[in-house]
Structure 1
């Protein structure tokens, strides 16, 4: 079953689905700054666009472009800035 997710007053939307090795979401972010919280570890892959990311416990923002990915530990938060619509795939463990 496909799950529809909407966050930050509709500025981030995704579709969630089950895969063989866990769950994933594919979504789009409107320009803005967002703070996400994780329950389980996840891998975020930028499909199109660019994200500036500040991972939990780090002090330096890193830029991730199309095709780049980053890992986020479980039970943590991370901050994201996007300047234009950006699409992503998020894989949950």
Structure 2
């Protein structure tokens, strides 16, 4: 959800090791409005985009995917992926979206 920190750097380091010298590491940063209650702090949620980008660059990320809510939930989308197995485990049990 953004505001990347040291634990994210460790995940990126592991991904880089798993990808090997010819692989690529992609990081997705998306503040999902569906995970916020109506009237909550979604609009005020921190989105330090420049800092996250610099963080990823410094950590060796090859591609940073940072879509907007409009891109992710476009009304005229041609593809929809509905996942109903993993999303019902762990945090998915109590966090919609």
- Between structure 1 and structure 2, the one with the greater Rg is 2
What TM-score do you get using the length of structure 1 for normalisation?
0.19
Comparing both structures, which one devotes a greater share of its residues to helix? 2
